[in-house]
Chains A and B, each alone.
Chain A
Amino acid sequence: MPPDLEPEPTAAPLAFELPLKGREEASGWGRRLLIAAVLAWFAILILVPGAALVRQAFAKGWQPLAAALIDPEVRRVFALSLGLAAVATAVNTVFGIAMALVLVRQRFFGRTLIDGVVDLPFAVSPIVAGLMLIVLYGPESPIGGWLDARGIQVIYALPGMVLATTFVTVPFVVRELAPILRELGEEYEQAAHTLGAGRWRTFWSVTLPSIRWGVAYGVTLTVGRCLGEFGAVLVVSGNVIGQTQTATLYIADGVESFHPEGAYAASLVLAAASFVLLVGMDALRHRLEGAREVTS
């Protein structure tokens, strides 16, 4: 029999576990071929079209591009796009946080169904979303008729565009926050309760700070999608030039007809904006992962 052996204090771990990286497969050629294929596909699909857009926008040099961008029409369409994005994002952020709290912290009949309903706008074609709003609020519908009688026009007007933009971006904040809230658990909030903090106080000083990066990520996604929304807004806007034309509608119009320079310039601006948003999202994701490591 081996002698009695105690857990040994002198045998302290000497070093870290070895990194598994750098372990290379033997077949170098297959690997290189695969990498090349993947990169080529990425280039054909993503990079080169992006470069083509930049080239097209600068085709006649700086001046026409700058001229197109300071055109009052272009400024107006961007202002409208930004306004719509601001309203839709604000609404969806407030209600998105509420919805995430309800879905994660509460138990009630039909919760799973509601959880699925939140995702519905992702499954709906933007065109169909616009059609839905026409059916519900259009002049021929009961609600639309009632509103029309009181001088409120929803469809082919600003309220309809706000509704359309909001509809397509409902899921973003909720979907981003639900897993974060779930992972966070209720202990922090309960700790605040035991320390005498009321609900409102707990929300502002405990819950919200813990999910702030998640909110930021959800907001970024929402803004990006709002700025880029096309189909739903197209259907409900009526596309009245000078009144209900957003940046995306302007681009579509421009390419098809009379002012391609403006369309290319606006496209470039939107593409650049989405690129900036993407970089922001990437940074936020690092934050989120960092925060997750700290809490776990």
Chain B
Amino acid sequence: MSVGPFVDVDAGPSRARPAAGPSVAFHHHRGAWPPPRVEAWRPEDGREEKNVAIEVRGLSKKYGSFQAVNDVSFEVESGKLVALLGPSGSGKSTILRTIAGLESADSGSVMLTGEDATDLPVQQRGVGFVFQHYALFRHMTIRDNIGFGLKIRGVPRAEARRRVDELLDLIQLGGYANRYPSQLSGGQRQRVALARALAPRPKVLLLDEPFGALDAKVRDELRTWLRRLHDEVHVTSLFVTHDQREAFEVSDQIVVLAEGRVRQIGPPQTLYEQPADPFVAGFLGAINVLPLRSLKAGSVGGGPEEWLDMPPAEHAEAYVRPHDLDVFAARDGKPYWPARVERITPLGGVVRLDLRIAPEHPLYIEVPRDRSNGVGFATGDEVYVCPRHINIYDRVRGSFDPVDVHRAIGLSLESGAGI
């Protein structure tokens, strides 16, 4: 795929590490950064395999009467790239800024690479911070921007110059060293901001909505690039985003936040498949929520009880992803749900079907284009729907219960897809 001119960061032989090579310099200087392979490294204090770079404990912050952050705790392993994901107002930026020391919490603590940093001023925390709107120094050249942190720390001139050159190569902007930020595109500016944050070899890298101000296309390119860069330099990174797609694409681990609280922590796919609560289920991707009882009442046979071990609880709801549903033209005696096609929207690779399922529930389905072509539905058609995978949510217990519908009704995948 084409990802722009800068994607070949790791295309060269430097990939075969940890042998010598230009980019190896990142790991050997001063030892401020964790080594490339986390598994290969053991901390000297004999702590267990897991080496925590950022540890947040019981963080709370109020703005007036508004509880921005409410008892938040999580940790980030060394060398990992973790996303703080949540809607705006969920407190994610506040948490990130508190870790950086740009803001102070009302209570709670922040540990950076094992040291208590809660009361450390921002200058001494050794974090790299990337801002949403770049925050490059307008009156300085690109070179001076990247070298700022080194100059402040009194790094000898020659060494600083070498380091800046290294980073300019890394961000593929070697020819732009003497330009000013206003002469660069948004994507280029953000790469400079990243290089500037990396220059003093921070313990951790914090990114606040780093791609939020960019065009969709540049954003995609830069995401891919950031992921590859991280695979190469392995600095522990924590980034804030409200875009679940971004979090999925880039991160090893996601911390989902809402209303100042942590909702769930885990690898992206786990969160997607086993959400802890309805908020996480809904926030990580489109999902249909169907009350099971009304489904049962409205369907002609083939109610959910046919594929559940036990009858659903009084107020149970079924959570189904749009692509976890199959559509059939005929029932063939199977326990499918009858529905009516209300609208068909081709979306390039997939076709979106808006259905209405008995008696009054909208249902939104996505099917690959070729398959929907084969079926040839039209608006108003009567169709039959069968989920492959649903999550039953029990409101009373507040827990999810995943059900593999195909196995439950004895279908094989082939028969489900075989229209």
Residues of A that sit less than 8 Å from B by CB: 2-6, 8-19, 22-23, 26
In the complex, per-residue mask of B245-274: 1 if CB is within 8 Å of any chain A CB, else 0: 100110000000011000000001100100
Q: Are B63 and A26 in contact (CB-based, < 8 A)?
A: no
Q: Are A6 and B286 in contact (CB-based, < 8 A)?
A: yes
Q: Are A18 and B350 in contact (CB-based, < 8 A)?
A: no
Q: Which residues of B contact A22 (CB under 8 A)?
A: 63
A80–B169 alpha-carbon span in the complex (Å): 75
Top 7 A-B residue pairs of the complex, sorted by shortest distance between their CB atoms: A15-B89, A2-B248, A10-B282, A6-B286, A5-B285, A14-B89, A13-B88
Q: Are A4 and B323 in contact (CB-based, < 8 A)?
A: yes
Contact of A11 among B121, B248, B259, B283 (CB under 8 A): B283
Q: Is B23 an interface residue (CB 8 A)?
A: no
Q: Are A3 and B283 in contact (CB-based, < 8 A)?
A: no
Residue of B nearest to A22 (CB): B63
A23–B287 alpha-carbon span in the complex (Å): 39
Q: Is B303 an interface residue (CB 8 A)?
A: no
Contact of B366 among A4, A13, A18 (CB under 8 A): A4
Write 21 A-B pairs (CB below 8 A) sorted by A numbering: A2-B272, A3-B321, A3-B323, A4-B323, A5-B286, A8-B285, A9-B286, A10-B283, A10-B286, A13-B87, A14-B87, A14-B88, A14-B90, A14-B258, A15-B88, A15-B89, A17-B89, A18-B63, A18-B89, A18-B93, A19-B63
Known: A2-B268, A4-B350, A22-B63. A13 touches B248 (CB 8 A): no
A56–B66 alpha-carbon span in the complex (Å): 52
Q: Is B103 an interface residue (CB 8 A)?
A: yes
Write the nearest CB–CB distance from B331 to chain A, whole angstroms: 27
A11–B322 alpha-carbon span in the complex (Å): 16
Contact of B94 among A5, A13, A14, A18 (CB under 8 A): A18
Count contacts between A and B, CB distance < 8 Å.
66
Contact of A5 among B90, B121, B245, B259 (CB under 8 A): B245
Q: Are B282 and A8 in contact (CB-based, < 8 A)?
A: yes
| Additional 18 contacts, C-beta under 8 A, given A2-B272, A5-B244, A11-B87 | A2-B245, A2-B248, A2-B269, A3-B321, A3-B323, A4-B350, A5-B248, A8-B282, A8-B286, A10-B282, A10-B287, A11-B244, A11-B282, A13-B87, A14-B88, A14-B89, A15-B89, A18-B63
Q: Which residues of A contact B89 (CB under 8 A)?
A: 13-18
Residue of B nearest to A10 (CB): B282
A14–B263 alpha-carbon span in the complex (Å): 15
Q: Is B284 an interface residue (CB 8 A)?
A: yes
Write the nearest CB–CB distance from A242 to chain B, whole angstroms: 60
A121–B249 alpha-carbon span in the complex (Å): 63
A18–B282 alpha-carbon span in the complex (Å): 24
A17–B94 alpha-carbon span in the complex (Å): 11
Residue of B nearest to A13 (CB): B88
Q: Which residues of B contact A5 (CB under 8 A)?
A: 244-245, 248, 284-286
Most buried by A among B283, B286, B287, B322: B286
Q: Is B68 an interface residue (CB 8 A)?
A: yes
